[in-house]
Amino acid sequence: MASMNSEKLRTALGASDELALLDLREQGEFGACHLFWAVNAPLSRLEFEVARLVPRKSTPIVITTAGDAALAARSAETLTNLSYTDVSICPDTPDEWVSAGFTIYSGINVPSKAFGEAVEHHYATPSVHASELKAMQDRGDDLVVLDSRTFAEYRNMSIPQGISVPGGELAYRVRDLAPSDATTIVVNCAGRTRSILGAQSVINAGVPNKVIALENGTMGWHLAGLELDHGRTDRFPSGDPQTLDAAIAMRDRIAATHNIESIDRARLAEWQSEADRRTLYLLDVRDPDEFAAGHLPGSRSAPGGQLVQATDFQIGVPNGRIVLIDDTGVRATMAAHWLVQMGYREVYVFDGGLAGDLAMEVDTAMPSTDAPTIGVEDLAARLSDSDVAVLDLGESRVFRKGHIPGAKWAIRSRIANTGPALPDSGTLVLTSDDGRLAALAVEEARALTKAEVVALSGGTNAWIAAGRPTDADPAYPADEDCIDVYLRAYDRNTDIEARMQEYIDWEVALIDQIAADEDVQFKMGPSA
């Protein structure tokens, strides 16, 4: 297996050639310490992540694991088995990264989080403290609060009077939601990034209203001692906005200001025919419900606001071709104008519309397995038997909220280290959210036990859909054992307020950290 030291890696990252830098540790480990442009693709879920992040099999890939040689070797072998042909390992430790001139970062979605702070500084995006917003609401001021997170996040907790308008929809729909020029528009998220980018998107859209970001989002509201709402379902009206003409005019102005190039169907077809030589991302930035109703074959759902605030969840090859899709070009152009400022070199808007033969299903193809399975009803009948054990390989924070009664938890790639002692006989049932990850793990588990190993058909989702009971335990696994995810403040069992403040302080400090990092060069544009 080829090796690349940190000095050569740093040079390669600064070049214009395609390169995927993948960190194969678990997300919690990655979040503790990693390189700025590294993309997290944990070995435990690699088969699910890598095809999306690195769609071209011949793309040069460099693996980094912070010096864990065994993990790097296993990861390289897995990538090779998945038909990736150009895989190298950077064997260096974090100390060696620093010696080569790299800056080390903590957290996840760091490029996007740092970019949000840079946007606030560059554009002087105005903000309002939670206590001031509360006073405005109590006075009955003419204002609207637009929540730029996903609808699921909004439904979980929200600012009183807030409306769910995910970030990619804000500039497209804001004129309908605040038809009076006198209405103050407040944009919030959970912390800072989507508040800042959402508010600045609305400002860049050219509305005459006063537009402000809620300082520190729902965390700031909570830390100010104010009550959040739960279970709200207020969201933007579906369909085209009534002010579509104004949105189209805004699209054209933004595209001209930021030199956003459009491509037609012929150019897209040409690039698709070259996808074995140049990486191509075809990202649909519309609302997920619109995507599910019909989308261009080969495209992937990447709602605009979520795409910009978590680019490393969607794009593993920064110098690949990125084509953004929606029905009118408005939302795609707004997402594109942020991506080009982040430094992505080839970002395009598809102007071919969404007429014609549309796909209705999301491609969930996975490596096939012939793993033996057990059905929900059969497991339910045997669950109380002493010779049956259930091991859940799904996400730890999901397991805490609900799992098959009696199930234990482990990380798929580290069953022996993170799970319970496996039985020597009887039947071991592996499960995960939809069962696919569990099926992939059957052979691995067989090497660790003499018990019969089977996967639950349809996974825990099928168990729940059948009306079977679940148990919940917020203390298992313990916070320190949840290394498969980077726990958010409100995922933790203790010191939640302290963790919120710690997170906010981390975000704010990113602006100084990237200012001292010559490898980070955003390309901020003029206000539009």
Digit-coded pLDDT (tens) for 107-123:
999 999 999 999 999 99
* Residue that is written with structure tokens 């399975």 in the block: 373
- For the segment 232-272, what is each residue's pLDDT rounded down to a tens digit? 999 999 999 999 999 999 999 999 999 999 999 999 999 99
Among 42-51, 356-365, 392-401, 503-512, the least confident range: 356-365
Indicate the pLDDT class of residue 359, thresholds 50, 70 and 90: confident
CB 426 within 8 A of CB 387: yes
Indicate the pLDDT class of residue 356, thresholds 50, 70 and 90: confident
Q: Where are the domains of the chain?
A: 2-108, 115-237, 250-350, 373-474
Mean pLDDT value across residues 487-496: 92
| Angstrom distance (rounded) from CA 115 to CA 339 | 10
pLDDT of residue 362: 63
The CATH architecture to which 373-474 belongs is: 3-Layer(aba) Sandwich (3.40)
| Angstrom distance (rounded) from CA 430 to CA 451 | 12
Backbone phi, psi, residue 84, to 5°: -80, 135
Do 250-350 and 115-237 fall under one CATH topology? yes
| Tokens of residue 75, six digits | 């990861």
pLDDT of residue 58: 98
Mean pLDDT value across residues 164-191: 97
Indicate the pLDDT class of residue 364, thresholds 50, 70 and 90: low
| Angstrom distance (rounded) from CA 308 to CA 168 | 9
Question: Using DSSP, how many helices (H) and how many strands (E) does the chain show?
Answer: 22, 22
Residue 352 in this model has a pLDDT that exceeds 90: no
Give domain 2-108's CATH number out of 3.90.600.10, 2.40.170.20, 3.40.250.10, 3.90.850.10. Answer: 3.40.250.10
| Angstrom distance (rounded) from CA 528 to CA 512 | 26
Residue 363 in this model has a pLDDT that exceeds 70: no
| Tokens of residue 484, six digits | 């498969």
Residue 368 in this model has a pLDDT that exceeds 70: no
| Angstrom distance (rounded) from CA 308 to CA 337 | 10
Burial class (CB in 10 A: 0-12, 13-18, 19+), 448: middle
Nearest to 411 by CA among 27, 22, 21: 27
| Tokens of residue 521, six digits | 């060069």
* Residues whose CB falls within 8 Å of the CB of residue 109, separated by 6 or more in sequence, listed in order: 193, 309, 310, 311, 312, 313
Residue 387 in this model has a pLDDT that exceeds 80: yes
- Cα of 87 vs its chain's centroid, Å: 24
Q: Which fold has domain 115-237?
A: Oxidized Rhodanese; domain 1 (3.40.250)
| Angstrom distance (rounded) from CA 12 to CA 223 | 43
- For the segment 473-486, what is each residue's pLDDT rounded down to a tens digit? 999 999 999 999 99
CATH code 3.40.50.1100 for 250-350: no
Local structure of 259: helix, strand or coil = coil
